[in-house]
Structure 1
């Protein structure tokens, strides 16, 4: 009887034991598959060690893998389906690795997963439609990848989800509801901005049971009305619906949201009266700018919001006098109500806020100004009647030049010694390789980038955080606060290792995972954030290779053989080092004129890189680092050890034409240093490779932006600045470069825009220097781009500076029309001339103007701009202006529209070009339309999780 009971129990125990052993083996097999797929896995990831005991980034429970945290580990190679075998996995964070590939559907088998964090992994394809199978998820962070397709409706099954971040992707389609996002009543965060989502915001998306804190839908293609159901979500803290195409009235119950601190509804096409926000006493940042509201009286609630720090209402059709009490709100810092119908008297005399820094009221109808005698706030009253009166203060009636962003750094160190190559001094004056990245604060309580006191408080918090949780951190610094195109506050972070020059992989993972997991929580002044960790290059002596360390018992003659092999390898290595030393000191010692590259280039300041260096900086020129391809070759994105982003233009092997372009660009760009010309960092002429290393220009080509592919919208003012910047770059090449340079391929594809939309002329593969013997023209085979090519050059084969002027005239017409030079078989010059009528408003060009440029009074100076562009495209070169004349006329036009042309230095008035822009982290351009990159970074989020 007893045996009959014991036998089944014994068999059951054996079965359970076998099942456990099988599961453990499955985990091991899965991890080995990951190791096989990923490149450069950490040390000890080898077949002979125990993954649960030795492998960096792996956490186990009862020999089952429960966590994988490998952030900023330099992994590449995709995410294999084998990961679906790790059925006990609860936590997966692979952020800041250039994995590439798609998100495997096998991941939906990990039903115990609570945190899926894959930030900035360069993933493509669609989000798995059955993502809802991961019912235990509390954090789903897939932001800053390249996902396409729609948001899966099955996301509504994630009942435990608190954090949803799909921002900065290329997602399309409508917001899914019933089933979908409306079912996530426990979620605190919907971060869905910077995508291509379209359609209406469904009213059923919101309900009174929601606990939503952040609603971020900014910079999409959403249309229709803002649903009144939004007013039901009482828990909301931050609302970002800006930069969409939302229309109709703002819901009247919007002021029910009394807990909202920040609300952005700007850059839509909202109508009706300006909304009544009475009672929103927690509100400290409000932006309703650039909508089509009906003419509304200045709201009474302006002066009843006690927490207000920033009020932005430009171009909202407001009428009447501003209440003096508005400027007495204690925390008020920034008021922008420009381009309205504000009239009467401006009174800032009654106890104005001590924090008030900036008041912009230009383009209004103000006739009087009352102030205190010691008024120091920046006030702009340009284009108000008061400025037309005699004796008006020039101080308030002139557009101030852009304030240079603060050179803030905390803490400030006074180190006397300097560091070697690539090493950076810590605040404690120790030389090391810091972990570097950038915070992107999406909704700050303050508006000024020069608020050093508040940055100091952030530094104090971060310092205490790392001191408490990371003994391997010596010190840190914060620096370079700026505002990007999305008005996000960007701050650079550097973290330095303790007692050594470099962090190891485990330490880097600890620091970066703390940021990806939102463990860092500064105060509410900074609110929600994202973070990008730059590629970390390990310092000397820090092992990272996944090559196994083979240990065995070698006896007898085997020992001798091994020693001889080692000695031989050492000799070869020393020989290689010697050869590389020669290569660095004499990079063109083996330059081959017979290869079609001509004589040895004459360089000025360009740095020589070895092939191994550039291979390392680009992940061995992996497909995931490739950002473009053209006739010359491929272009790759990389990062130098100091964190600077670079773009590497790699010629195809055996390309004679490429060799000539290679030499030309090195020779010309090594001599050129100008804010409006893309900078050459260096080159590689090693192992039969020809590579150029440029700045990485964040926002890509003007062509891509005008076509709408980048998602960046350019109004008339920005287009004027871009035109002036590009013109100054060409003027520099023609007048101040030594020798003068004819570009020969000016076009919108070859004008790049950095993160501040500063124009940079690029691609000098076809350029020609003017010799001392002939300073007027160069006789050469006709080359260029159809539509931009000077007809006189085409006929005579003599290229002159006026050939660039003709091409620039085409660029100017393209700037206002956003059409290709040849559109439906018709040239852009002919199209403009055929519809132009100088006796009508805007020369009757409405039908050919780009609809996104603006209209009517917003296009002041456009007629003069058109006149200039048509002068540039005269058929005969001697009838065209010079680039210096073009620059001067563009400066006059900018002054007409109220912009200061001195925001960008002019070659004729400044000698500060040498070294300009050397610290920018921008990218270059090759001879095709290579870049459609919109400046996005791997984003994280900050709040109470």
Structure 2
């Protein structure tokens, strides 16, 4: 939800405000009112036209202020009631300005068009005004980490569009409001996915009315409050839940028996309450990673037999739960298990943890039990076992055993390491980035309120998170060089905290706009790390090293005679300086041109012969820039057929009459010289009817252009979404699948050396005029040399949603990574859904719904109706099975692309289709529907999480 809005807003923030008119006088008056009460306003807030003069943080549309984004700007003072005059305001983000104090004005309820109100990490206090309930368009409300007091306004329940509600880390009191007759309540928020209320002083019971089967909640966080009474059984009706935290309250009574209905829950924390009755049976909650039921008053019971069935479990916390008996050795065979904490119980007998070799087990803490023997196998000595205050540690000679002593704290000293370079020696206050460049980073703390893992000693989690955050910023073309994470630790609330440092890619510091946008991305929660990290908050440090330099203005009345005399005396010196500067600038220009030439990947290329660096082009042609200008009528706007973050795509006509598509990179595009050269080298030497053909290229006068064959029917994504006017029935989808699979199999098995594409997705599969599919975009592709057979260790690149989780976690790239991505494309062919859409991952959704005992494997609810539901879909079940084999977690369990080709051919034969036949010519109806539609099949677009939003590459 938030990603689409973020993309739209960033287009405006990084461009110019729309409209030439001067700022609306009412809006200007309101801004001046705010500025009067604020100290440390941005330095370019001068003059009388915020819209026309592009004031930092102000976004306008036709003279009206639509957004104020001033994250981490160092503002101090109150938020004036003048804010209520900005009747067109849609975004208000003042997050991480700790100096903003006082109460929220009632006038904030006048902002009827407001969709995002983000005030994270400020110093606001007092009651949250009831007028917020008037903001009917609000979808995102973040007031966390302030000092708000009083009750949660029940009228928030009127906000029917609200998606995100975060009031955590305040001083709110009273009960949780629910509707009652004409009164509103939080139970009315049926569209909300996030209830974040942790770290307050809420009291009373949790109303059973708060939850219902019609809700879409994924996060329910009520930890660290003063809630009492029982956990309502209605919680078990919200089947969409993924994270549940009710720990550190005063809840009593038995845990509802229907809690195991929540089969999507990954983190469940009910610890530090007064819960009684039997230990809840959570069998069937197979997604559960983190389970903490510690410090309650459950009935004494033998260790539950259902716990070893939870094969996703990483952390088991059952301290002070009166568990007794012998721990089964099968518990320690769970591959993902990292920590087992069963202190202060009545466990007895022999502790046998098996070999535990090959799994992730790190810590077993069984202090204060009745264990009288410990059987330790070879291969598990790396597991930290604590048996202090057990009979086994009271035996003679036991004092010297490692498991009979309490080890030092296991906090991690992890920090991001340099990226194969030597850290730079920097000036005072500057820091060396992971890429060994000095700069002033934007810093703060990432706070994860429910991570699904417990082992902080493993660097793999944090290394991958670093790469994903960096890739996220760069996908929005933010000026970020690199990201560093350090000092992972758990606080007293059991939250995971990480220090974050974001380094600039331009100069040594960020400007005001960049800080605003980076802060907005993090505070808006539109960027999501992998789910293993859970819900996220970002608390920023104030940034004081802005690159912007304010030019002081001096009135004529302030000039005095000394200034005039000084100017006259300095005139001659100035002339000498200008001459010197001219000579110096000429020399610097020559140096810069030489440096640019040396950094150019084509510096050694000779267009007339093949040198060691020049690729064997095999038919691809070197075009001059003048030729391409001629073929596109000087890149006329009428010939533009698409655009993306790299630049624009133009239709061109060669002298032979052949249509071509010319991709022209813009300065500073995401595709650098290495990727440009890589795509030329690969496409010029691989030739297959299911791979897009490279006609030629141009590298001249600082320009980078690629010339492709023209494919009129656009991308597979456009065909599935209906944008191109093409209808893809079941037979055509099978044909698209076999075509793309053959292209990939050629790369893996017949190219010499083999090639891993690394960015297979529906926007990189193109359709020709006969709807034959061709694989495109080789900018990220990786040839596999003889010494790299098996896997290639390389930086993670690709597109979220299609990215192989094994490659993402290990950085070991194999052909099976392409197989995973192709499996996701197969699921797109079935459902016409983006891989990550409205917060749902298509692989997981199919896996949950799929039932082989039912017709069409029970997938009717998510199949694309255009596929031909109601007609014969022969082979669909086999196609689904193949797709799910392709997206297995382990690459070893996936088929090769050659095997995928054979199976799709068999499916087509089963469906009565000829797998060797070419597609039929596009019908007249399709041609008619496509008239006037400009396709862009050559872009490298990574679409947003909820589908249909602006792709980040356009920003």
For normalisation by structure 1, the TM-score amounts to 0.56
Query: In the alignment, what sits opposite 2:127?
Result: 126
Select the residue among 357, 364, 378 that pairs with 1:359.
Answer: 364
Query: How far did 1:341 drift?
Result: 0.3
Q: Distance in 2 between matches of 1:77 and 1:408?
A: 36
CA separation in 1, counterparts of 2:478 and 2:123?
A: 31
- Show the counterpart of 2:55: 55
Q: Give the match for residue 894 of structure 2.
A: none
Alpha-carbon offset, residue 474 of structure 1:
2.2
Tell me whether 1:520 sits opposite 2:520 in the alignment: no
**Contact 1:410/1:479 (<8 A) preserved:** no
Give the match's secondary structure for 2:25. helix
Verify: 1:504 aligned to 2:511, yes or no.
yes
Q: Distance in 2 between matches of 1:263 and 1:161?
A: 24
**Is the CA contact (8 Å cut-off) linking 2:419 and 2:434 kept in structure 1?**
yes
Q: Which residue of 1 aligns with 2:190?
A: 185
Q: Note the C-alpha offset of 1:560.
A: 3.6
Which residue of 2 is the match for residue 76 of structure 1?
A: 76
Q: Which residue does the alignment assign to 1:401?
A: 408
In 1, are the aligned partners of 2:140 and 2:163 still within 8 Å (CA)?
A: yes
Corresponding position: 1:136 with 2:147: no
Matched, 1:321 2:322: no
Displacement of 1:467 after TM fit? 2.3
Equivalent in the alignment of 1:384: 390
2:500 to 481, 493, 508: 493
Q: 2:654 maps to which residue?
A: none
What is the CA distance between 1:353 and its match in structure 2? Answer: 5.9
Structure 2 distance, partners of 1:333, 1:149, is 41
Whether 1:422 and 2:429 are equivalent positions in the alignment is yes
Q: CA deviation at 1:418?
A: 2.5
The answer on 1:345 being equivalent to 2:360 is no
Post-superposition offset of 1:283:
0.5
In structure 1, the partner of 2:799 is: none
Kept after mapping to 1: 8 A contact 2:410/2:457: no
Instruction: Give 1:558 deviation, angstroms.
Output: 5.2
2:177 counterpart SS class? coil
Please name the residue that 1:774 is paired with. Answer: none
> Contact 1:163–1:190 at 8 Å: present in 2 too?
yes
Q: Which has the higher contact order (CA 8 A, sep 6+)?
A: 1
Q: Cα–Cα, structure 1 residues 565 and 513, in superposed 2: closer, same or farther, change >3 Å? A: farther
Q: In the superposition, relative to structure 1, how do residues 404 and 195 fare at CA in structure 2: closer, same or farther (>3 Å)?
A: closer
> Which structure 2 residues correspond to residues 508-587 of structure 1 after superposition, within 5 A?
508-538=515-545, 542-543=548-549, 549-550=552-553, 554=556, 560=561, 563=564
Kindly state the Cα deviation for residue 321 of structure 1 after the two structures are TM-superposed: 1.1
Map 1:720-759 onto structure 2 (within 5 A).
none
Q: Distance in 2 between matches of 1:338 and 1:164?
A: 36
SS of the aligned residue for 1:438 comes to strand
Q: Say which is worse superposed, 216-225 or 32-41, in terms of deviation.
A: 32-41
Contact 1:380–1:397 at 8 Å: present in 2 too?
yes
Deviations 1:126-163, CA, capped at 9 Å, x for gaps: 10023110011000000000000000010110000000
Query: Contact between 2:71 and 2:93, CA under 8 Å: does it hold in 1?
Result: yes
Closer/same/farther in 2, CA of residues 416 and 399 from structure 1, 3 Å limit:
closer
Decide whether aligned partners of structure 1 residues 371 and 82 sit closer, same or farther in structure 2, where only a CA change above 3 A counts: same
| Alpha-carbon separation, structure 2, partners of 1:400 and 1:483 | 17
Aligned partner of residue 307 in structure 1, secondary structure: coil
Distance in 2 between residues matched to 1:566 and 1:183, nearest whole Å: 71
Give ranges in structure 1 of 5+ residues lacking alignment.
1-19, 568-941
Distance in 1, matches of 2:110 and 2:50, equals 24
- Contact 1:67–1:90 (8 Å) recurs in 2: yes
The equivalent of 1:10 in structure 2 is none
> Are 1:225 and 2:230 matched, yes or no?
yes
1:874-885 correspondence runs (5 A): none
Quickly say closer, same or farther: Cα 1:566–1:452, change in 2 above 3 A. Answer: farther
Q: Which moved more, 1:179-188 or 1:423-432?
A: 423-432
Q: 1:303 to 1:45 in 2, by over 3 A?
A: same
- What is the 5 A alignment of 1:115-264? 115-178=116-179, 179-264=184-269
Q: For residues 142 and 368 of structure 2, what CA distance do their matches in structure 1 show?
A: 44
The equivalent residue for 1:607 is: none
Change (3 A) 1:175 1:261: same
Distance 2:276 2:230 in 1: 10
Distance of 2:64 and 2:410 partners within structure 1: 57
Offset, 1:429: 2.7
Shift of 1:39: 1.1
Structure 1: distance between partners of 2:61 and 2:474: 29
Contact 1:411 1:477 (C-alpha < 8 Å) held by counterparts: no
C-alpha displacement at 1:412, in angstroms? 5.6
1:285 has 2:290 as partner: yes
Indicate if the aligned counterparts of 2:164 and 2:192 stay in contact, CA closer than 8 A. Answer: yes
Contact 1:379/1:396, CA 8 A, preserved across alignment: yes
Match of 1:651 in 2: none
Partner of 1:662: none
Partner of 2:315: 310
Q: In the alignment, which residue of structure 1 is the partner of 2:795? A: none
Matched ranges for 1:692-707 at <5 A: none
- Give the Cα–Cα distance (whole angstroms) in 1 for the partners of residues 486 and 356 of structure 2: 34
Cα distance change of structure 1 residues 153 and 564 upon mapping to structure 2, 3 Å threshold: farther
Map 1:677-696; keep pairs closer than 5 Å: none
Once residues 117 and 60 of structure 1 are traced to their aligned partners in structure 2, the CA distance between those partners, rounded to angstroms, is 19
Does residue 110 of the first structure (1) align with residue 111 of the second (2)?
yes
Aligned to 1:475: 482
The SS at the match of 1:125 is strand
Could you tell me how far apart the structure 1 residues matched to 2:539 and 2:161 are?
27
- In the TM superposition, residue 35 of structure 1 has moved relative to its aligned partner by 1.8
CA distance in 1, matches of 2:239, 2:186: 17
**In structure 2, do the counterparts of structure 1 residues 542 and 199 end up closer, same or farther at CA, with 3 Å as the change threshold?**
same
CA contact 2:418–2:436 (8 Å) conserved in 1: no
SS in 1 for 2:173: coil
CA displacement at 1:561 relative to structure 2 = 6.4
Q: Match of 2:270? A: 265
- Please report how far the alpha carbon of residue 56 of structure 1 lies from its aligned counterpart in structure 2 after TM superposition: 1.1
Q: Deviations over 1:575-615 (max 9, x none)?
A: xxxxxxxxxxxxxxxxxxxxxxxxxxxxxxxxxxxxxxxxx
- What whole-Å deviation, never above 9, does each CA across 1:818-851 have from its counterpart, x for those lacking one? xxxxxxxxxxxxxxxxxxxxxxxxxxxxxxxxxx
Q: Secondary structure of 2:518's partner?
A: helix
Seen in structure 2, the aligned counterparts of structure 1 residues 255 and 105 have a Cα distance that, compared at 3 Å, is same
Cα distance in 2, alignment partners of residues 194 and 411 from structure 1: 37
Query: CA 1:370/1:225 → structure 2, altered by over 3 Å: closer, same or farther?
Result: same
Query: How many angstroms does 1:43 deviate by?
Result: 2.6
Aligned position for 1:706: none
Q: Distance in 2 between matches of 1:566 and 1:197?
A: 68
| Alpha-carbon distance in structure 1 between the residues aligned to 2:530 and 2:482 | 21
Residue 416 of structure 1 and its aligned partner are, at CA, apart by 5.7
Deviations 1:673-711 (A, max 9, x none): xxxxxxxxxxxxxxxxxxxxxxxxxxxxxxxxxxxxxxx
Give, in angstroms, the shift of residue 44 of structure 1.
2.4
How do 1:807-886 residues align onto structure 2 when only pairs under 5 Å count? Answer: none
Question: 2:379 matched to which residue of 1?
Answer: 374
Deviation digits for residues 700-750 of structure 1, max 9, x if unmatched? xxxxxxxxxxxxxxxxxxxxxxxxxxxxxxxxxxxxxxxxxxxxxxxxxxx
The C-alpha deviation readout for 1:852-905, integer Å capped at 9, x for no partner, is xxxxxxxxxxxxxxxxxxxxxxxxxxxxxxxxxxxxxxxxxxxxxxxxxxxxxx
1:279–1:213: structure 2 CA closer, same or farther, 3 Å change rule? same
Cα gap change, 1:335/1:146 in structure 2, threshold over 3 Å: closer, same or farther?
Answer: same
Determine helix, strand or coil for the equivalent of 1:511: helix
The count of residues paired between Structure 1 and Structure 2 equals 546
Structure 2, unaligned stretches of length 5 or more?
1-19, 569-943, 948-955
SS at match of 1:464: helix
Residue equivalent to 2:820: none
Cα-Cα RMSD:
2.5
Question: SS in structure 1 opposite 2:516?
Answer: helix
